[in-house]
Amino acid sequence: MKKVIVGGNWKMNKTVPEAQALARQLCDRLSDVNFADIFICPPFVDIYSLSIILREKESKIILGAQNMHYEAKGAFTGEISADMIKSAGGKIVVLGHSERRHIFNENDEYINRKVRAALDAGLLPLLCIGELLEEREAGKTEEVIRTQLKGSLDGIKIEDPSKILIAYEPVWAIGTGVTATPEQAQDAQKFVRKILAEMFDENIANEIRILYGGSVKPANAASLIVQPDVDGLFVGGASLDAESFEKIVRDAIK
């Protein structure tokens, strides 16, 4: 049976002192949680100091980064490499988030190079996919999912399904307060699994954990996680408050 996974994407929020305070609160509030994998993705500047706190607290919370470059090193001002993330204590890296795709114009080929680099470096990539509102209204949700999955994972061999995570995040539901209904999330994530089965095989597709992200909050977490193809939740704004994130985690593992 797959372990439920719940992650928080802090985006461009939290100074170092603020991040440290939130991390300590989460360590205390979630110290008894053993039946779910929990991860947080703070800004780059917070990762190292939070790794020290998590170690001191003997916490099982996993640290992640919000992005990375596909090159190992070089003249890429403002970028960060897989080895830098690992050396700071990060184990997961978010790739292909809609904000990277639509604000910073990252395409599937570019994201594919990042996924390859993360896998080669031993990081756990969390690949994000999802459609715009106009694409859903035009009936193109499945077309977008297929294109983004096939492009972002082109040429990549997955033999161990625990080495990658997929997050379905409908762009129209991110930061808008509008959440996909549990049925919409299930339909989309079932289709994600279908495409993964076509690309790899059915056993791999069934074991890869697929998260739902997009305005996840305490009020809807329980109804989303019970869907058969929703293996976890990727939380944005609600992960910035310890009480809110704790409730989501606990609702997800009931």
CA distances from 56 to 24, 32, 46, 49, 90 (A): 10, 16, 16, 11, 16
- Give DSSP secondary structure letters for 166-219: EEE--GGGSSSS----HHHHHHHHHHHHHHHHHHS-HHHHHHSEEEEESS--TT
Please say if 106 is a catalytic residue.
no
CA distances from 149 to 87, 171, 234 (A): 29, 15, 18
Burial of residue 241 (CB within 10 Å: 0-12, 13-18, 19+) is middle
- Evaluate whether 63 touches 47 at the Cβ level (below 8 Å): yes
228: which 2 tokens? 């058969």
List the catalytic residue out of 99, 106, 131, 169: 169
Please say if 169 is a catalytic residue.
yes
List the catalytic residue out of 56, 97, 106, 142: 97
Cα 103 from Cα 171, distance rounded (Å): 12
Which residues are tagged catalytic?
97, 169
